[in-house]
Chain A
């Protein structure tokens, strides 16, 4: 799986379409997380439009690649990517967090086909993905011949459960498992290195017997190449440590941790009045998109 420049450009455009949907769905919901979903839009676009073997019309296809989302709070980016990929109508995104919706505030497996597991409480996704990878390997190909991806946050590396899972995946040499860390350096209470220093993350994973690839999380080609490289590693699980910009694409909120858990319309008003946030964000995305 390689990627052409044209394909990269198409995915980057998809990423902006996903970002706009994220802003619209969060504005409509009136609650939820903004910075993380914007920051991970390039990677989710690349996953759903290039990397994953999947079938939006058959979300239970046995041979599909499995994408676990450990930091469930960024689920708007996943929902938006799924909608754009054809899992469900785009309009359904506007039901996010509302009564009766399949798009729960934090993702639930039992509500929406294509969501591989329930998550939200941090630190438990990597171990679920690891258990899944081990179970699949027990059965072997073709039954277990797919790949397992696990998207995670950096902040959840403050959870003990994450490191228990890292140790476990290293022990069992889960080569069918590729984790993707959103290294955006923010969490609710501030910058990660102020709240609880996490570095050196790459060295830590290597010490836990993982293969580590560091990339620019907004460089689609780098991400696709890293996924390729992960497939070729036969003795270890792979961690793609993706350096991202929280809030990517909405210039005025990029790298501002105060936007971690706040939707447009309810965020800090020192730069943009609350009632203008939605339209300003959409305009900024439109402008940023021109640089593609």
Chain B
């Protein structure tokens, strides 16, 4: 059952509002810009598809167009942050942090300047553009970097809040956003704090969960649909929205994993090095638990619709339900 404390939208299963998480970025960065004059936004010839054009319109004097040059995007921003600005750099995640990862490592992370790397079009749900434009490795790349906070919002509203929180963090941050319109689950009242997981779904009997589902990004909605199916079959579950992949909310994750005794991780990313990897590292060291990994299994994407691709790569509701049952079965071994 839905956790009332999360203050989710009322109609998340019937007719949820649809918006892309990048739209949340577009709104959030304008709000942040109003609050703090140090905020600047840079893009590499992708102002509209990154939603940076909203900031460009509101604050043209604080908008920087670097052209198709992602290495320059990161390093110019590093220089601006070094001066005292708070730059948000925007491109597709395959290009930034994909192409410019070393520049991010040296001039932002080692240099310790508060640049916010905003990677759009994450996951296979980019759709028709195909594998070259579908970022599936960005979480792995960014969570390996010391000093970086890594945030993967579940919807547009959380994307807006994450953008505002990143603006205030004083640290390097990676923000991951999707292209497609997806279900808006959270509301303005839903809590958001960097590093604090949000429990969206509880088992019907408190303390009697069979499985804990840890999900990130827009697939949190599929995780909720899966939890509803499981509940119909008498299997209590938790669904936690792990919007912050680094630092992980270790307290919440370990508590839910211990109570349920079985875990499913859900992400639109390679299962190598992403959320699942991070949770496996955590649980292996403090509370070994059977885990099933929903994500892309060491493969590249391809052209198709978002829905087709999510199903094809095993990230649909049915796949999550099956993974939960498998994890529960493994408890008995």
- Name A's B-contacting residues (CB within 8 A): 68, 108-110, 116-121, 123-124, 127-136, 138, 144, 160-161, 164-165, 167-168, 171
B105, closest chain A residue (CB): A121
Write out the residue numbers on chain B whose beta carbons fall within 8 Å of the beta carbon of A109. 82, 111-112
Kindly list 4 other residue pairs between chains A and B, CB separation below 8 angstroms, not including A138-B61, A165-B76: A110-B111, A132-B83, A135-B40, A164-B69
Write out the residue numbers on chain B whose beta carbons fall within 8 Å of the beta carbon of A165. 72, 75-76
Write out the residue numbers on chain B whose beta carbons fall within 8 Å of the beta carbon of A116. 82
B103 touches A168 (CB 8 A): no
Write out the residue numbers on chain A whose beta carbons fall within 8 Å of the beta carbon of B61. 138
CB B89 to nearest CB in A, in angstroms, measures: 10
A104, closest chain B residue (CB): B110
B102 touches A121 (CB 8 A): yes
A131 touches B78 (CB 8 A): yes
A131 touches B76 (CB 8 A): yes
The interface centre, meaning the residue of B77, B79, B82, B103 with most chain A CB atoms within 10 A of its CB, is: B79
CA distance A138 to B80 in the complex (A): 10
Is B85 engaged at the interface, CB distance under 8 Å to the other chain? yes
A124 touches B71 (CB 8 A): yes
> A135 and B85 in contact (CB under 8 A), knowing A118-B106, A130-B79?
yes
CB B71 to nearest CB in A, in angstroms, measures: 4
CB B96 to nearest CB in A, in angstroms, measures: 13
A131 touches B75 (CB 8 A): yes
Selected from B72, B85, B87, B102, the residue in CB contact (under 8 A) with A164 is: B72
B110 touches A127 (CB 8 A): no
B69 touches A124 (CB 8 A): no
CA distance A68 to B111 in the complex (A): 13
State the 8 A-B residue pairs at the shortest beta-carbon distance, nearest first. Answer: A131-B79, A131-B76, A164-B72, A127-B75, A128-B79, A135-B83, A132-B79, A164-B69
0/1 string, B101-125, CB within 8 A of A gives 1: 0110011001110000000000000
**Which of chain B's residues 42-87 have a Cβ closer than 8 Å to chain A?**
61-62, 64, 66-67, 69, 71-72, 75-85, 87
CB A104 to nearest CB in B, in angstroms, measures: 10
A136 touches B83 (CB 8 A): yes
CB B298 to nearest CB in A, in angstroms, measures: 29
Write out the residue numbers on chain B whose beta carbons fall within 8 Å of the beta carbon of A133. 79
List 16 A–B pairs whose Cβ atoms lie within 8 Å, in order of A's numbering: A68-B79, A117-B111, A118-B110, A119-B106, A124-B75, A124-B103, A131-B76, A131-B77, A131-B78, A131-B79, A161-B71, A164-B69, A165-B72, A167-B69, A167-B72, A168-B66
A120 touches B106 (CB 8 A): yes
CB B78 to nearest CB in A, in angstroms, measures: 5
B84 touches A135 (CB 8 A): yes
CB A168 to nearest CB in B, in angstroms, measures: 6
Count how many chain B residues have C-beta atoms less than 8 Å from C-beta atoms of the other chain.
28
A68, closest chain B residue (CB): B79
The interface centre, meaning the residue of B69, B83, B102 with most chain A CB atoms within 10 A of its CB, is: B83
CB B230 to nearest CB in A, in angstroms, measures: 48
CB A242 to nearest CB in B, in angstroms, measures: 22
B42, closest chain A residue (CB): A131
A161 touches B67 (CB 8 A): no
CB B119 to nearest CB in A, in angstroms, measures: 19
CB A235 to nearest CB in B, in angstroms, measures: 19
CA distance A188 to B81 in the complex (A): 32
CB A117 to nearest CB in B, in angstroms, measures: 6
B82 touches A117 (CB 8 A): yes
CB B194 to nearest CB in A, in angstroms, measures: 22
A134 touches B64 (CB 8 A): yes
Write out the residue numbers on chain A whose beta carbons fall within 8 Å of the beta carbon of B83. 131-132, 135-136, 144
The interface centre, meaning the residue of B61, B82, B112 with most chain A CB atoms within 10 A of its CB, is: B82
Write out the residue numbers on chain B whose beta carbons fall within 8 Å of the beta carbon of A164. 66-67, 69, 71-72
CB B43 to nearest CB in A, in angstroms, measures: 13
Write out the residue numbers on chain B whose beta carbons fall within 8 Å of the beta carbon of A110. 110-112
CA distance A136 to B80 in the complex (A): 8
CA distance A59 to B40 in the complex (A): 26
Write out the residue numbers on chain B whose beta carbons fall within 8 Å of the beta carbon of A138. 40, 61-62, 85
B79 touches A129 (CB 8 A): yes
CB A193 to nearest CB in B, in angstroms, measures: 25
CA distance A138 to B77 in the complex (A): 14
CB A203 to nearest CB in B, in angstroms, measures: 22
B70, closest chain A residue (CB): A164
CA distance A131 to B72 in the complex (A): 9
CA distance A124 to B70 in the complex (A): 12
CB B45 to nearest CB in A, in angstroms, measures: 12
CA distance A24 to B107 in the complex (A): 30
B79 touches A117 (CB 8 A): yes
A128 touches B75 (CB 8 A): yes
B106 touches A160 (CB 8 A): no
CA distance A189 to B82 in the complex (A): 33
CA distance A196 to B7 in the complex (A): 61
A128 touches B71 (CB 8 A): no
Write out the residue numbers on chain B whose beta carbons fall within 8 Å of the beta carbon of A121. 102-103, 106
Write out the residue numbers on chain B whose beta carbons fall within 8 Å of the beta carbon of A171. 67
The interface centre, meaning the residue of A121, A136, A161, A165 with most chain B CB atoms within 10 A of its CB, is: A161
Write out the residue numbers on chain A whose beta carbons fall within 8 Å of the beta carbon of B71. 123-124, 127, 160-161, 164
